[in-house]
Amino acid sequence: MQPSDHPSPFNLGLIGYPLGHSLSPQLHHAALQAMQVSGTYRLFPIPPLPDGRIELADMLQRLRSKELDGLNVTIPHKPNVLGLLDELTPLARRAGSANTLFIRGGRLIGDTTDVPGLWDDIAGWLPAEQAAAKTALILGAGGSARAAVVALQEAGWRLWIAARRPAQAEELAGHLGGEINILSLDASALSQLNGIGLIVNTTPAGMYPKMEGCPWPDELSLPEGAAVYDLIYNPAETVLLRRARGAGLPARNGAGMLVGQAALSLERWTGLPVPREAMWAAFNK
């Protein structure tokens, strides 16, 4: 039901570039309908900086003027909005990243729902044996690796990051702090690891349309006893997940993270509980 303090339709959307493939409008519209809350969620493609600089500032002004009620932010604008906000939530500050923007008390706030969206999905799925290891290996060191590191650190896990450019992982670890071990994403380095309970792929290797890719070296088996979570959800089963299942390991794709972060964003904006099943049904359509 429409919240009494917000009788007009919610005006929501996503800024990023390119946005042609985004499922976010379907997920949000399905949830709004199930909640019987009126609102629209639109795509606002804004070119990378410097070309999109004025458009980006204008979008945030539309939030300040209450023409818009909430925005999600994706590639390439996550780092670009940070300097334009009044405040970050403690978790967004910790992650150095905001994907959900709204006005509270007249201030423009940036929050991250990527971190809890990822963690809720992992925690709800990970078998007890792998969870007990509390040692994870993250593949890749880009934007979403940041969310994975913060989620796992908050839960008290020991972390390894394997990146094809270890300097990128060093930089990420330097920003986030805590004890993070870094290695090169190659067979000789990975074969030295033991005691890994969870592998989280944050690289785009294997994502549509280059579905033959796999971040794990062909010549190396996956570690025995590890579970594998791949942030990619298109295709539903990447080469990495197929290899994991073939080796008898628990494996899950990133659809639950996508739904989780979307639901948490909509909860921030409306102040109402969001039915995940409505978003799942829209995702599976």
Among 48, 79, 96, 142, contact with ligand NAP (rule: CB under 6 A): 142
Among 97, 100, 112, 144, contact with ligand NAP (rule: CB under 6 A): 144
Least Cβ distance, residue 126 to ligand NAP (angstroms): 16
Residue 116 binds to ligand NAP (criterion: CB under 6 A):
no
Q: What angle do CA 253, 155, 98 make, to 5 degrees?
A: 70
Single out the residue of 136, 106, 114 nearest to residue 228, CA to CA: 136
Q: List the x/- string, 237-266, binding to ligand NAP by CB under 6 A.
A: -----------------x--xx--x-----
Residue 225 binds to ligand NAP (criterion: CB under 6 A):
no
Q: Which of residues 145-204 bind ligand NAP (CB under 6 A)?
A: 145, 163-165, 168, 185, 202-204
Beta bridge partners of 163: 184
Phi, psi of 87 (to 5 degrees): -160, 145
Strands 158-163 and 180-184: parallel
Among 39, 52, 70, 215, contact with ligand NAP (rule: CB under 6 A): 215
- The residue (of 11 and 139) whose beta carbon lies closer to ligand NAP is 139
Alpha carbons 105 and 85: distance in angstroms, whole number: 13
- The residue (of 52 and 140) whose beta carbon lies closer to ligand NAP is 140
Alpha carbons 210 and 24: distance in angstroms, whole number: 22
**Binding piece for ligand NAP, criterion CB under 6 A, among 123-131, 229-237, 240-248, 276-284:** 229-237
Catalytic site positions: 78
Q: Which contacts of 281-285 are long-range, i.e. CB under 8 A and separated by 24 or more positions?
A: 281/30, 282/23, 282/26, 282/27, 282/29, 282/30, 282/31, 283/23, 283/26, 283/27, 283/255, 283/258, 283/259, 285/26
Residue 39 binds to ligand NAP (criterion: CB under 6 A):
no
- The residue (of 101 and 258) whose beta carbon lies closer to ligand NAP is 258
Q: Would you tell me which residues interact with ligand NAP (CB under 6 A)?
A: 75, 140-145, 163-165, 168, 185, 202-205, 207, 213, 215, 231-233, 254, 257-258, 261
